[in-house]
Structure 1
Amino acid sequence: MAKKIFFLILTGSLLFFLTACEKEQAKEIVSEKEGMEYYRKGEYKKASPLLRRSADSGNAAAYYYLGLIHLKSKGKEESGKNACNCFVKSAESGYPKAYLKSAGCYLTGTGVEQDFKSAFEWGKKAADTADEIRMDDKDRLFLALLMGGMYANGKGTLQDFSEAAKWYKKAAEMGDATGQSMMAFFTYSGRGVLMNREKSRYWAERAAAQGSPYGEVILGMLSQYRENPDMKEAMHWYRKAAGQDNKVAYYQLGVIYEKGLAVKQDLAKAHHYYQLAAQSGRDYIVQELIDFEARHKLNKKD
C-alpha cells in the first residue's frame, strides 16, 4: 500500500509539474505574440518588456526580436552590444534567423570577443538555413560578402579562392560593387576561376560604373597589360582610383612615372606615389618604396 501511495504521489507531483510547465509555456507564447504585435506596429517600448519576459523563459525567437529592437535604438552607444548579446543567445538556442546576425557580431567583435572562427561557423549555419527561413535579398548579400571575404582572406577557415569566387559571384550578380570588383580581380588573375579577360572587363566595368576604385584599377590594368597597351586609358582609370585613395592605383602610378611609360619620367612624382602606396602598410609595397629610394639614392625626406 505504501508503495502505491508513493507512486501515486510521485505521479501526482509529475502531473503538477507538467501542468505548471504548460501554463508557464502558455504565458510565454502569449507574451511573445503580444510582443510581436507591438513590434510589427513599431511600438518598441511596449514590445520590449513582453519579449524580455518571453526571452527570460528561454524563448529563442524573443531574443532575436529584442536584438532587432536594440539595433533600432538611436543614440545609444551600447545598443549594438546589447543587440549582439541577444542575437548570440538566440542563435545558441537554435533560432536560424539569428545565425547571420551572430556571424556579423563575431566578425566585428561587437558585444562579444572578435572570433573569426565563430563568425565563419555561424555564417555556414546561416547559409545552410537560408532557404528554410526565406532569407531576404539584403541578408543574402551580406552573407555572400561575409563568406566571400572570409574564404578570400583565410579568416576563420582555410584560404580558398575557389569558394571565395563562388560567394563573390553571388554578390556580383545581385549588383554589388564589391562582389563585381572581386570577380573582376579573380577572372583577371585566374585565382579561384579560369583566367578570362573578357569577363574581367565585364565585371570591372559594372563595378566602376558604381564608383568602385577597385573596378577602376582593374580597368587600368586591362588597358596597360593587353597586347597593344593603351597607357592613356590606363592613366585615366588609375587617376580616378587614386582620387579615391586607392593604394593599388598609387603604386601603379609610381611604377609608370618611375619608368616613364608613355609619360615623361618624373622621379619626384614616382616617389610621391610610392609613399602614398606604402601607407597601406603592406610589407611588399613598403619594400618597393625602400628599393625605389635605394635605386635612386633618395633620402626618406626627399
Structure 2
Amino acid sequence: MKNKIFYFLILFFLSFLVSCEKKSSISSEKEGMDYYKKGEYEKALPLLEKSANSGNAKAYFYLGEIYRDKDISTSCRNYKKASEGGYKEAFFKVGLCYYVGEGIEKNDSEAFKWAKKAGDELNEIQLSNDDKKHLMLFIGDFYLTGKGTLQDFSEAAKWFEQAAELGDERAQATMAFFYYSGQGVLMSKEKSKYWAEKAAAQDNEIGEFALGMLNQFNDPPAIKEAVYWYEKAAEKNHEGAQYELGVIYEKGVGIEQDLAKAHHYYKLAATSGRSYLVEELSNFEKRHNLKGTP
C-alpha cells in the first residue's frame, strides 16, 4: 500500500513539474510577444528563446521572424522547428527556406511538402492576400514544372486560378494560356479571353500577348486587334509578341505589308538570344536579301 501511495505521489509531482514548465513557457511567450508587437526585439528575444527551449513551437516561429532580416540562416532554422512542432503559420516560410537553401539544405521536395501543407491549411492560417497569392503561385509553379513533385497541370491550374481570383496578374495570364491550350482545364476561348483581359487591364505583357494570339488566331482573324495587343506587349520586351509582329508585317495578311517593320521586330525578338529567334531573323534576311545582326 505504501508503495502505491509513493508511486502516485511521484506521478503527481512529475505532472506538477510539467504543468509548471508549461505555465512558465506560456508566460515567457506572452511577455515576449508583448515586446515583439511593440518592436522591442532585444527584450522579446530572451523570453521567446526561453519559451522555445521548452518546446513552444509558436515561440520558435517568432524567433524566426525576429532573425529574418538580420540572420536568415538562424531564422530558417527556427521556422523549421516551429513547423516540426506543428505551428501552421511557419509551414510556408520553412517551405521557402528549403526552396532557397538558407539555414537548411536546399530541397525542392521538402519545399513543396511544406508549402502544400500550408496550402491545405489555408483557412486556418492568417495570411494577407499578397501572401496567399504568393503561396498559391508557389504551389502552382511546382505542379507546373514538376519540381519537388509530379508534374500535374490540373493541380497547377487549380492553384493558379485561386491566385487569379485574388487578382494576381501573372496567375491571370497563366490561366489565359491554360484555357487557350486546354492544359489542366477544359479548353475555353471565352475563359481564356476573360483572364487575358483581366491580366492586360493590369498592364501585364503576358496577358497582352495572349489577347494578341486570341485575335490573330480567331475565326475569322482580327489582325489589327492582334497587332494592337502585340505592340503593347512588344514595348515591354515580350519576345513572342515581337516575333509575331515580325511575321504579321512580313506576310502582310490582314494588314499592309511592311518589311522594314518586320525586320525591326525580328531583330528585337532576336536580342533575347534565343537560338530559334536568332535563326528566324537570319532566315528573314536571307529571304529578302538583307544584311544585319540583332
Using structure 1 for the length normalisation, give the TM-score: 0.83
Alignment map for 1:183-202 (pairs within 5 Å): 183-202=175-194
Give the SS at the match of 2:123.
Answer: coil
> Cα–Cα, structure 1 residues 245 and 56, in superposed 2: closer, same or farther, change >3 Å?
farther
**Match for 2:53: what amino acid?**
D
**Offset of 1:121 from its aligned partner?**
0.6
After superposition, the Cα gap between the structure-2 partners of 1:232 and 1:104, relative to the gap in structure 1 and judged at 3 Å, is same
> Match for 1:66 among 45, 54, 63?
63
Aligned position for 1:165: 157
Task: Give the conservation status (yes or no) of the 8 Å contact 1:67–1:87.
Answer: yes
Identify which of 39, 48, 51 aligns with 1:54. Answer: 51
Does 2:217 match 1:225? yes
Aligned to 1:41: 38
- Aligned partner of 1:28 in structure 2 is 25
Task: Report the Cα offset of residue 292 of structure 1.
Answer: 4.8
Report if the CA contact (8 A) 2:243-2:266 is conserved: no
1:41 is matched by which residue type in structure 2?
K
Amino acid across the alignment from 1:275 = A
User: Does residue 112 in structure 1 map to residue 104 in structure 2?
Assistant: yes
**Cα distance in structure 2, aligned partners of 1:160 and 1:40:** 41
Equivalences for 1:127-146 in 2 at 5 Å?
127-146=119-138
Paired with 1:239 and 1:45, the residues of 2 have a C-alpha distance of 54
Partners in 2 of 1:39 and 1:55 — Cα distance?
Answer: 14
Paired with 1:277 and 1:220, the residues of 2 have a C-alpha distance of 20
Q: Does 1:178 align with 2:165?
A: no
**Cα pair 1:250 1:276 within 8 Å, conserved:** no
Following superposition, the deviation at residue 134 of structure 1 comes to 5.0
Report the Cα distance in structure 2 between the residues aligned to 1:119 and 1:204, rounded to whole angstroms.
30
TM-score (norm 2): 0.85
Contact 1:254 1:270 in 2 (8 A): yes
Q: How does 1:146-295 map to 2 (within 5 A)?
A: 146-261=138-253, 262=255, 263-266=257-260, 268-279=263-274, 286-290=275-279, 292-293=281-282
The verdict on how the C-alpha distance between 1:300 and 1:8 changes in structure 2, with shifts beyond 3 A counting, is: farther
Q: Which runs of 5+ in 2 are unaligned?
A: none
| Cα distance, 1:144 vs structure 2 | 1.3
Secondary structure of the residue that 2:124 maps to in structure 1? coil
**1:56-109 deviation line (CA, Å, top 9, x unaligned):** 3322110111112233x4xx4x3x333222212211222111111111222233
Contact 1:88/1:102 (<8 A) preserved: yes
For residue 206 of structure 2, what is the amino acid of its counterpart? Y
1:122 maps to a residue whose letter is: W
**What per-residue deviation string (whole Å, max 9, x for no partner) do you get for residues 203-230 of structure 1?**
1111111111110100111111111222
Check 1:271–1:138 CA distance in 2 against 1; reply closer, same or farther (3 A cut). Answer: closer
Distance 1:8 1:172, change over 3 A: same
- SS of 1:131's partner is helix
Q: Any idea what SS the aligned residue of 1:105 has? A: helix
RMSD of the alignment, in Å? 2.8
Q: Is the 8 A contact 2:169 2:199 kept in 1?
A: yes
Distance of 2:188 and 2:248 partners within structure 1:
25
Question: Structure 1: 5+ residue runs without aligned partners?
Answer: 280-285
**Matches of 2:130 and 2:282, distance apart in 1:** 47
How many residues of Structure 1 are paired with residues of Structure 2 in the alignment?
288
